[in-house]
Structure 1
Amino acid sequence: MLVLRSHPASPYARKIRIAADLLGLSERIEIATANASDPADSLRRQNPLGKIPTLVLEDGASLYDSRVIAEYLDHLAGGGRIIPTEPAARFAALRLQALGDGINDAALLIRYEIFSRPEALRYDEAIALQQGKIDRALAVLGEVPPAGSIDIGHIAVACALGYLDLRFAGAWRENHPRLVAWLEKFACAVPAFEATKA
């Protein structure tokens, strides 16, 4: 059995759990919570970066970074299922995935700055820099929400929006009604989105 080292709040791990469900692979994957902050957690032996998600294969080897894991799962399911093979569709999906993951990267940096540092040591310019990335990405997505068949890009964007809901009380929603409507449609079409909510 494959083992996904994960944490319920991780948007990257959520992306993999949703991908696995859409690919019909959930029954082949055991979810094992990891504590990336704990030096005693086996995660650091499974992934030298000590990051989640990490997928431990049946032979004990590990794959890490959600993009690599998604590619592996798509391959395992026969290929071309959530990562298109036709070049134009493929790179559109990968670009959308990069946008969703980039929102998560920026949101995590803001969260670390706010919750990991004493207030006197917080760097407001760093927070503003990351918030600008999120705001620009949401503006692009709000203007033209993801369309077409559900692929890895759609999953990544949905998980990014879900993370903004989880950690920042859905503050993005007021200014992006088209994106809110898109996320509602995605959630209806992909029950795993709600099932993986932290």
Structure 2
Amino acid sequence: MILRTSPASPFGRKVKIAAAVLGLSERIEIVPADTTDPSDDLRVHNPLGKIPVLVTEDGTALYDSPVIVEYLDHLAGGGRLIPAGTARFEVLTLQALADGLIDAAIMQVYEVRFRPEERREPTWVDYQAQKVTRALDRLESRAGAIGDALDAGTIALACALGYLDFRFEGRWRESHPALVAWLDGFAARVPAFEKTRPN
């Protein structure tokens, strides 16, 4: 299989950690993708030009990260990262919250990266920042309930917090001590978290 992603992508990181946890890393070749390059054949696999994309052994392209993680879980026998029954929806909801946090953080990064300063919209940036704040506050209040589970939701959450460390200098940490403790525990249990840390 081929994973099209970039080292800085938190969504690509989520897939790489999931693969490592499931023992599938050796079956996946990571091929860098440049979402800003119109000539990158990423668009052949995903017409949206977004990463990550997993090209399966039969040539099928799967995107984006929640679909890929579920596929990898299926390959590993199912029920390891996405449980059955009502627990499934708890895991998927945590994954959706963490992914949404990442999306809102990325929108703030893109506003600076792709717009000249005179065209930036502070109201838009603040709108996205408020999403991140609300998500962090909700997660902080429930950090104890998240516990030590290793599933699609907790992997996504670790990658979301890791992205805030990477792009926002870890400013979230001071006001979210329970999440800091949770992430420290996750990193200690999951070696792939450190191995996939972007530079």
TM-score of the superposed pair, with normalisation by structure 2: 0.97
Q: What's the counterpart of residue 76 of structure 2?
A: 77
Name structure 2 gaps, 5 residues minimum: none
1:154 corresponding residue in structure 2: 154
Alpha-carbon distance between aligned partners in 1 of 2:175 and 2:86, rounded to the nearest angstrom: 30
Alpha-carbon distance in 1 for matches of 2:119, 2:171? 25
Instruction: Give the match for residue 185 of structure 1.
Output: 185
State the distance in 1 between where 2:87 and 2:59 align: 33
Q: CA RMSD in A?
A: 0.7
- Partner Cα distance (2:94, 2:80) in 1: 16
Match of 1:110 in 2: 108
Amino acid at match of 1:65: D
Are 1:31 and 2:30 an aligned pair?
yes
Aligned match of 2:48: 49
Q: Which amino acid aligns with 1:176?
A: H
Write the distance in 1 (CA, Å) between the matches of 2:159 and 2:37.
25
Per the TM alignment, residue 196 of structure 1 is displaced from its structure 2 partner at its CA by 0.2
CA separation in 2, counterparts of 1:57 and 1:98?
A: 24
Look up the SS of the partner of 2:3 in the other structure: strand
Question: What are the ranges of 5 or more consecutive residues in structure 1 without an aligned counterpart?
Answer: none
Calculate percent identity across the aligned residue pairs: 59
Distance 2:134 2:149 in 1: 24
Letter in 2 for 1:38: D
Q: CA deviation at 1:148?
A: 4.3
Q: Corresponding residue for 2:4?
A: 5
Secondary structure of 1:8's counterpart equals coil
Q: Give the alignment's TM-score, normalised by structure 1.
A: 0.97
Q: 2:148–2:186: 8 Å Cα contact kept in structure 1?
A: no
The equivalent of 2:133 in structure 1 is 135
Rounded Cα–Cα distance in structure 1 between residues aligned with 2:166 and 2:189: 21
Partner of 1:93: 91
User: Which amino acid in the other structure matches residue 33 of structure 1?
Assistant: P
1:194 aligns with 2:194: yes
Q: What is the total number of aligned residue pairs between the two structures? A: 196
Partner in structure 1 of residue 123 of structure 2: 125
